[in-house]
Amino acid sequence: MDDRTVVVGAGVVGTTAAWVAARDHVADEVVLVDPDPGSGASWVAGGMLAPITEAWPGERPLLELGAASLRRWPAFADAVEQASGRPVGLRREGTLAVVVDSADREDLDRIVGHLQAWGRDAERLTGRETRRREPALGPAVRAGLAVPDDLAVDNRLLLAALRAAAERAGVVVRRESVVGVTESRGAVSGVELRSGERLGAERVVVAAGAWSASLHPALAGLVRPVKGEILRVRARAGSLPPPTRTVRASVAGRAVYAVPRDGGRLVLGATQYEAGFNADVTVGGVRDLLADAERVLPGIADYALEETAASFRPGTADNLPVLGALPGAPGGLLACFGHGRGGILLTALTADVVADLLAGRPVPAESAAASASRVATLEVSS
């Protein structure tokens, strides 16, 4: 048997897993396999580290998981930058959650009530106070929450830094497709590539996002694609500067966010569809996203539209990731998928979980809600 660990999927989660495995010397060789590393949901992401402003009634486990990961993010960012010699683009300005009508204000009130019940802090603001903090906000903004601890990161800088850290640590990257995990006598024996080659391994970490379910029968039905579209826009000469903080808004019950990037740029999202693996960016999705964003940030009408993109978040039945060994799966197979809309946020905690799983140590107690041992209780995803 080859003393090799194979990680399937080179998004943020998979690349982090490969880097951790190589850093900790869990095998003689760590191989990261993906036909197009750094693409997919990790590339088409806002990069919000915002468990508080994304909190919704009924999702306390996800809030707690996200909060545990957020606490790790500054140290995680420092470690990646030191290991790679590259910046990750961590932004510490905080987040504003804003609303534009009375119905949305009621939603904001409910969120505040839940956050207070959970012991989480947020500063309630009037519309005028909210606009004073971010002059780019328009007069339609009626109220807001200031959440200084909800941060953001440049997902594309992060991907590049993680890839560099992984390669510096000795990870071998193979630009190929995996069609399945192979096994022998109750344990994984490696993976089969689309070319027909079989790559032997003692451990296989499946981190292929929404595509993970197809790689072994034990994974079937555990994750599904949830389509999301984003726009990237840039302030032009003479246009109003973008906000300095992440802005999350509710417009007639629809969520929209604007995440700052360097160079006067913003990432706008987020549409969400159950549309299978259809990656088309729809005219209606772009229209609605721009209309909602412009209501909150009127100045973006003068911005340049630089990019439209769509990809697939890996969704699970309870909106929580699946991390660890699965009941009934062959030994050596580790699940690391299902991070949904919180993939970037949850990466810092996932790094610690993967390190402990590969070393045979107990995983952090805060990650219990994401344990793969719960999968027998999940409804099968369609």
Q: What is the pLDDT of residues 57-69, one digit of tens each?
A: 678 899 899 999 9
pLDDT, one tens digit per residue, over 297-338 is 999 999 999 999 999 999 999 999 999 999 989 999 999 999
Q: Is residue 74 part of a domain?
A: no
Average pLDDT over residues 244-251: 94
Contacts of 59 (CB under 8 A, 6+ apart): 319
Cα–Cα dist 262/260, whole Å? 7
334 and 372: one domain?
A: yes
Q: For residue 165, what is the domain's CATH number?
A: 3.50.50.60
Residues 142 and 231 both lie in one domain: yes
Beta carbons within 8 Å of 14's beta carbon, 6+ residues apart: 7, 8, 32, 34, 205, 207, 208, 336
Say if 61 falls within a structural domain: no
The confidence score (pLDDT) of residue 58 equals 74
- Co-location of 200 and 258 in the same domain: no
Kindly report the CA angle at 11 between 179 and 75, in degrees rounded to 5? 140
136 in the same domain as 17: no
Asked if residue 229 and residue 311 are part of one domain, the reply reads yes
pLDDT, residue 2, reads 66
Tell me the per-residue pLDDT of 30-45, one tens digit each, with 9 for 90 and over: 999 999 999 989 999 9
Look up the pTM and report it.
0.94
What is the reported pLDDT for 57?
Answer: 67
- Structural contact between residues 66 and 321, judged by C-beta atoms closer than 8 angstroms: no
Q: What is the mean pLDDT of residues 221-246?
A: 94
Residues 174 and 121 in one domain: no
Residue 52 lies inside a defined structural domain of this protein: no
Same domain, 360 and 289: no
Q: Which helix (H) or strand (E) holds 103?
A: helix 102-117
Is residue 241 located within the same domain as residue 310? Answer: yes
Query: Mean of the pLDDT values across residues 269-294?
Result: 87
Which pLDDT score, from 0 to 100, does residue 382 have?
42
Does residue 55 lie within any of the structural domains? no
> In terms of residue numbers, what domain contains 296?
95-148+225-315
Asked if residue 229 and residue 144 are part of one domain, the reply reads yes
Last residue of a domain, one of 315, 334, 366: 315
> Which domain CATH number covers 125?
3.30.9.10
- Domain end among 315, 341, 367: 315
Structural domain count of the chain: 2
Confidence bin at 75 (pLDDT 50/70/90):
very high
Average pLDDT, the chain: 92
Could you tell me the pLDDT band of residue 379, with boundaries at 50, 70 and 90?
Answer: low
- For the stretch 153-197, pLDDT in tens is 999 999 999 999 999 999 999 999 999 999 999 999 999 999 999
Q: Which residues contact 223 (CB under 8 A, 6 or more apart)?
A: 209, 210, 212, 213, 314, 315, 316, 322, 337, 338, 381
pLDDT band at 272 (very low <50, low <70, confident <90, very high): confident
Residue 219 lies in a domain: yes
Rounded CA-CA distance 243/233 in Å is 13
Shared domain for 234 and 300, answered yes or no, is yes
Choosing from 285, 315, 345, the residue where a domain stops is 315
Query: Could you tell me the two tokens for 88?
Result: 């990750």
DSSP secondary structure string for all residues of 178-200: EEEEEEETTEEEEEEETTS-EEE
* Rounded (10°) CA dihedral 183, 185, 186, 187: -50
Per-residue CA distances from 41 to 46, 150, 266, 312 (Å): 10, 21, 17, 6
What pLDDT was estimated at residue 381?
Answer: 47
Backbone angles phi, psi at 141, to 5 degrees: -70, 120
Specify whether 128 is located in the same domain as 138: yes
